[in-house]
Amino acid sequence: MRRYSGEDGFFHGKEEATGILLINLGTPKATTTSAVRNYLRQFLSDPRVVEIPRLIWLPILYAFILPRRPLVSAKLYQAVWTKEGSPLLLFSQKQQNAIQQEMQSRFKGKVIVELGMRYGEPSIEVALESLRNQGVRRLLILPLYPQYSATTTATSYDEVNRILSRWRWIPEIRFVAQYHDHPSYIDALVRSIKNHWEKNLRGELLLMSFHGLPKRNLDLGDPYYCHCQKTARLVAKKLGLKQDQYLVSFQSRFGKAEWIKPYTDKTLKELPSKGIKKIDVVCPGFAADCLETLEEIKIQNREIFMQSGGETYRYIAALNHNIDHIHALSDIIQEHTQGWAETSNSWNQANIDKCNKAIQQRAKDKGANL
């Protein structure tokens, strides 16, 4: 048995390529209890996600959580599942396809975009195998988590390294750790919010809800909380919001430990009593709509707000595969692949002129919206 694996159909002189691996969290295959249980088992067994000692945590996981939680979660997934399947997977695949087209317009060399889920399918291993078999010698890893956290970004890096440690020929690797303050990403968020306001009446407050994290992680040096705050500040500044016109909160807490505050659900429950009854909610940390945005924020938290005396609650969709988001992710890819053979020739003059015209038009649009 070979210790290190090689690529299928390898031959010396094979055409080389740059690979882009997009990574998102993952999703169950279906809304059945067994499918959700398999997904949760993989997710909650990750020591990056739950940093409780294995001897303590695993008995709790297998004796109490996995026998009960999948049934509850399966019903929640059923509320957001589409005819085509998981919304997270569908949006992620559309992002992959759109970025692949953008790469073909920006670069003359062979650039291949694949999608891998940290938990579930398509797995990171399957995505990497596909890239290897297509001659990828330069690899950019882009976890679709704007704000860095050990629970998301770092575990993606761990999994990539685990797989590549068994390869015979390891590609040159670059890794995007975060893009929470990237100008193109901030612009995409701002434009999405403005577009929403143009189509709907603007609320009294913009609530920016990010996924939560145990407070212990922050105390141990995880930068996630700081990244979330910076994203919110930059978005608010570009929108021209005053301090009392937006709030930052954190959702999706799990277990009894203290998580970073303020909590989204408690914040929404308290706002009407403070006179704020019309709000817009956006989730800047989610690259694609999923269970946490479509069910928890759009459904559950709306009910909390309305039952507490709220009058208007509007959820602003995640960036998903809208064109500004695709351009932002492509800008990040272009910056991180500079100097590689397939991307070094950059755009031809026609594309540069086209890009400059688009930038000028965006500046005019922004001026008109001020």
What are the pLDDT digits (tens) for 162-207?
999 999 999 999 999 999 999 999 999 999 999 999 999 899 999 9
| Residue ranges per structural domain of the chain | 17-180+332-336, 183-316
E-assigned strands of the chain?
A: 17-27, 111-120, 136-143, 172-175, 205-211, 246-251, 278-282, 312-316
- pLDDT bucket at 349, cuts 50 / 70 / 90: very low
The pLDDT assigned to 321 comes to 98
Q: Is 349 exposed, middle or buried (0-12, 13-18, 19+ CB in 10 A)?
A: exposed
Domains 17-180+332-336 and 183-316 share a fold: yes
**Do 24 and 43 touch, CB atoms closer than 8 A?**
no
What are the pLDDT digits (tens) for 94-112?
999 999 999 999 999 999 9
pLDDT for residue 247 is more than 80: yes
What's this model's pTM, rounded to 2 decimal places?
Answer: 0.91
The reply to whether CATH 1.20.1530.20 applies to domain 17-180+332-336 is no
The pLDDT assigned to 344 comes to 83
What are the pLDDT digits (tens) for 32-53?
999 999 999 999 999 999 999 9
The topology under which CATH files domain 183-316 is Rossmann fold (3.40.50)
- pLDDT bucket at 354, cuts 50 / 70 / 90: low
Mean of pLDDT values over 43-72: 96
